[in-house]
Structure 1
Amino acid sequence: MDLHVQALNALNTAITAITNYGLNFLAAILLLIVGWFGSRWVARLLNRGLSRLKACDEMLRHFLTSAARYGVLVLVGIMVLEKFGVQTASLITILGAAGLAIGLALQGTLQNIAAGIMLLAFRPFKVGDYIVAGSLAGTVEGLSLFLTDITTPEGIKVVVPNAELWNKPITNYSANPTRRQDFPVGISYADDVDAALAVLLNLAGEDDRILADPAPQAMVTNLGESSVDIQLRAWMKADDFWPLKWDMARKIKLAMDASGITIPFPQRDIHIHQA
């Protein structure tokens, strides 16, 4: 009789365990399904919200949505493990310690990722901009979470870690649609200053690339040792900056020659007095 009771108790215990395990298994499957589709829903919702922000780059948007999705999946995984009696507190501690060790080992890489996120979020430059950062100058060809590709004016490709770029002052010459340029020239003390200034203003008026507003200015900037230094100050579109710089240097020389205005070279007069 006792054996029969023990057998029934063992059977009931087994059935209860199987039932509980089965329910936990079904709950875990349900959690995985809900978590899978829920993570995709969260990612789509976040992507939709971030896409409305002009300051949010496509790469940054992709990174944030992916991080949100995998974050939801990690939480779901922890909940599933709890259903099977796994001590998640210990698991979280182990994962935290492992994450700390990996973080210390990949400190430089993580700095580049953090800097990449900052560059994508604050957008001090975009692809196609001409920038100067420290001793590096060139056109931005690509930006990722780890590296920035820059091509120098000589056509040399430079791959820069984002952390190095973020920690330096960045000058962006393409950020504004217009730029000002000064065209200096020296004339002889014997020449007519007003006539020389008029030549500069006429050149500015004849070139359609020079903007009328703000209006070009011509001025005397210095009385040098061998020349009167004058200057044309003009605004132009950023894309016209370098072509105008080269064209105007030639035009100024030809116009001064045509007007009989001398562009002197540095010289010293030596007077010899006989005793």
Structure 2
Amino acid sequence: MKESLMQFWSDHSQTIITLGYNLLLAVAILIASSLIAKTVRKAIANTRTRLDKTLIPLFSTIASYAVYVIGGVFILDIFGVNTASLIALVGAAGLAIGLALKDTLSNIAAGIMLLIVRPFRADDFIEFGGTQGTVREINLFTTILETTDGLYIASPNNMLWGNNIKNFTRNGKRRMDIIVGISYSDSINEGFAVLKKIAESESRLLAEPAPQVMVASMIDSAVNIQLRVWAKNEDYWSAYWDLNKRVKEAIEVAGLTIPFPQRTLHIVGEQNAQAIQKNARKD
């Protein structure tokens, strides 16, 4: 047995040494690729440039994958693999995998298109398909949102790309409509004067576009008058909540009535009912 091993070593020692050297070199390349990929991801994540926050996760992922691919090519070259033939094989395999994972690839394509067209950026508040949230991240497959009540939403990129996207942040300002009902017996002009005075005294509202007051609708029990004003995004909700409170209080102070829904009932007596039935028979 010992002589057989010695003979095997004598015949194949050079091959074994070369193979062991190549294996050690391959392991070293894998370790180096892993370290370089992590370093590249951290460097991109910590970069202080004008690069949008939504692009950083995607670029860091692509860069790390590229490092691993380059390391894999070096390893294949060490073992003498014909990379040209391998590329053709990978291409054929990639076609089959692409057909099997068409939905996943569509998410990647949609993510790329979202980053090119840029309908939203990091920290924008958006709505699509009934979902609302603040954009935190766009990666290769999903877009990460945070809802107003702190929930985490990971939505496939093709869901966003295939829907209308409403961006509440992009224009920097938003319009708010404050509607209050007054009685039909009240003066509409007095109601307008109350709303205009409130708009003029609120510093968080924009001068342009100018505030507007109008009759929004006339319903069964009230005339709905509306205050239409604009505010910056950061002031929108605080101003909206405060204005609703102030409008209610100011309407009451001005002596105007905010009516409740009401219905008038006409009670018909027995004699009248008989007369109505008699007339109905004649007809």
The reply to whether TM is greater than 0.5 is yes
2:174 partner SS: strand
Query: 1:199-238 to 2 correspondence within 5 Å?
Result: 199-238=194-233
The 10-residue stretch of structure 1 (153-162 or 229-238) with the greater mean CA deviation from structure 2: 153-162
Task: Map Cα deviations across residues 16-49 of structure 1 (whole Å, 9 max, x no partner).
Answer: xxxxxxxxxxxxxxxxxxxxxxxxxxxxxxxxxx
Alpha-carbon shift at residue 178 of structure 1 (Å): 0.9
Quote the Cα distance in structure 2 between the aligned partners of 1:94 and 1:223: 72
Task: Map Cα deviations across residues 122-151 of structure 1 (whole Å, 9 max, x no partner).
Answer: 111112111111121111122212221111
Task: Map Cα deviations across residues 65-84 of structure 1 (whole Å, 9 max, x no partner).
Answer: 7899999x69x98xx89xx8
Query: 1:23-102 to 2 correspondence within 5 Å?
Result: 57-58=55-56, 90-102=85-97
Quote the Cα distance in structure 2 between the aligned partners of 1:52 and 1:195: 52
1:155 and 2:144 matched: no
Match of 2:11 in 1: none
Alpha-carbon shift at residue 164 of structure 1 (Å): 2.1
What code does the residue aligned with 1:107 have?
K
**Correspondence for 2:116 among 96, 100, 121:** 121
1:182 partner SS: strand
Match of 1:242 in 2: 237
Identity %: 47
**Correspondence for 1:132 among 127, 131, 134:** 127
2:181 partner SS: strand
**Correspondence for 1:177 among 172, 176, 198:** 172
Q: How many residues align?
A: 224
C-alpha distance 114-259 of structure 1, shift in aligned 2 (>3 A): same
8 Å CA contact retained: 1:60, 1:121: no
8 Å CA contact retained: 1:214, 1:235: yes
Task: Map Cα deviations across residues 192-247 of structure 1 (whole Å, 9 max, x no partner).
Answer: 11011110011111110111111101111222211111100001112222222211
Q: TM-score, normalised by structure 2?
A: 0.67
1:188 and 2:183 matched: yes
Alpha-carbon shift at residue 253 of structure 1 (Å): 0.7
Quote the Cα distance in structure 2 between the aligned partners of 1:161 and 1:108: 10
Give me the CA root mean square deviation.
3.4
What code does the residue aligned with 2:246 have?
K
1:252 partner SS: helix
What code does the residue aligned with 2:228 have?
R
Listed as ranges, the gaps of 5+ residues in structure 2 are 1-48, 273-283
What code does the residue aligned with 1:131 have?
I
What code does the residue aligned with 1:105 have?
A
Quote the Cα distance in structure 1 between the aligned partners of 2:121 and 2:90: 37
Alpha-carbon shift at residue 167 of structure 1 (Å): 1.6
1:95 partner SS: helix
Listed as ranges, the gaps of 5+ residues in structure 1 are 1-50
Match of 1:45 in 2: none
Alpha-carbon shift at residue 265 of structure 1 (Å): 1.2
